Amino acid sequence: MKRNQPEQGPKRALKRRRSDPDVRRGAQQDDDRLQGRSPIRPRQLVKTRRRSVQQPRPPRRPSAAGDNQGFLNDVYRRYYRNSRRVEQGDLNNSVYRFSGYGSSEYTSKPLKEGDVLQLAQTVAPLCEVFPQGKGTMSEALAKGDYFYFDSKIRQKTSSKGAYGGKIHERRLVVNLKSQQAALSLAGKLVRLFDLTDSRAVAPYFRQFKVKLSTKAGGTEGPVKYDKLVLYYGTDERDVDGDRVGTEIAEFLDDTVPDADRDDRFGAFYSKVVKGVAWAEEPDHIDVPKPRSFTDSRTSAVVKVIQDNRYVSSPADFRFKVYDEFERSNIAWPDPHRNIEPPDPPTT
């Protein structure tokens, strides 16, 4: 499979090397790492020169690759004992939850239904608000659900060969400490759907979803880390950057108070700033049933577990996952990226 040449990133465009200390059989240990792309402007970063050797990790600050390697080690220890697979039951759900859920006070204080319904009415000229699951808004709030804010602006995509396939679908995720902070942010994000907004991201920023609930706190259990997920496409004129992602990420960084951010993320995302991370969508926006980012990654991990009753060590397990990632069009050591851009629908 031919590897694509990813665009230069607005946050950093450094070549990095595989952080895994184990040498893969038949592979070159110092293969250049794919150039990652985190949507945040360079003015917020310390400039770093490209080097020919791996740069040391900052103290107490593991790299994204180190985080992902550690996660796969944890998966091995959870699902294998003495090199033998022990997990039974629904592996897909188990691994999915293990990769992206955690304890949180997010729902400890319930929202008021009237506040959510009022916001939905206020933003109606720019977007449609609806629950991810079935039922009415009130029913969804009573049980807790994600709510989509879907832009009414005609979106630019690479469907049917438009723009020469230069628009790539991506996501930003925001982890917040309370749903009050999330609802406040949702109300502010809607302005980016406006074509008159100076950031000019409306034709590419198609929707976001946010976790909201009116039920009494402390009854939901573990909550997904990505409380708010934003979906957007890159600007087709952007050859070496991600202007749209930069504008949205900078808006988030300027808008969300530091005290409202939770710096934990699900596996395989790439951090931008505190409380904000990004990834590429695994499927084209217009395929009949596009997969979620987490589903696409955890499905590959589950397949390795299902296909291998015996695995000798965490390192052996990681190498098997790396191979499965490659077969699944997932880049390593940058699993927030795809190896090749997803294909549009054929019909």
Indicate whether 305 belongs to any domain.
Answer: no
Question: In the chain, what is the greatest distance between 2 CA atoms, to the nearest angstrom?
Answer: 61
Instruction: State pTM to two decimals.
Output: 0.83
In a domain, 14, yes or no: no
Domain span including residue 218: 113-280
Please say whether the beta carbons of 346 and 78 come within 8 A: no
- Closest of 309, 344, 304, 310 to residue 328, by C-alpha: 304
Sort strands 84-85 and 169-174 into parallel, antiparallel or unpaired: unpaired
**What is the amino acid identity at position 120?**
A
Residue 148 lies in a domain: yes
Contact at 8 Å (CB) between 214 and 112? yes
- Is 246 part of any domain? yes
Residue 25 belongs to a domain? no
pLDDT in tens, the chain (347 residues): 434 444 443 353 223 333 343 433 333 333 333 344 555 554 443 332 323 333 333 323 334 667 899 999 999 999 999 999 997 789 999 999 999 999 888 999 999 999 999 999 999 999 999 999 999 999 999 999 999 999 999 999 888 888 888 999 999 999 999 999 999 999 999 999 999 999 999 999 999 999 999 987 655 678 999 999 999 999 999 877 899 999 999 999 999 999 999 999 999 999 999 999 999 999 988 888 899 999 999 999 999 999 999 999 999 999 999 999 999 999 999 999 999 988 877 65
CA distances, 105 to each of 19, 102, 260, 267, 271 (Å) = 33, 10, 12, 20, 22
Q: Is residue 49 part of a domain?
A: no
CATH classification of the domain holding 204: 3.30.2430
> Does any domain span residue 125?
yes
What element of type H or E holds 314? helix 314-327
- For residue 320, what are the contacts with CB-CB under 8 A and spacing of at least 6? 304, 308, 311
Q: In angstroms, rounded to a whole number, what is the distance separating the alpha carbons of residues 79 and 95?
A: 9
CA-based end-to-end distance of the chain: 24
- Please count the structural domains in the chain: 1
In total, the chain counts a number of residues equal to: 347
Whether 17 maps to a domain, the answer reads no
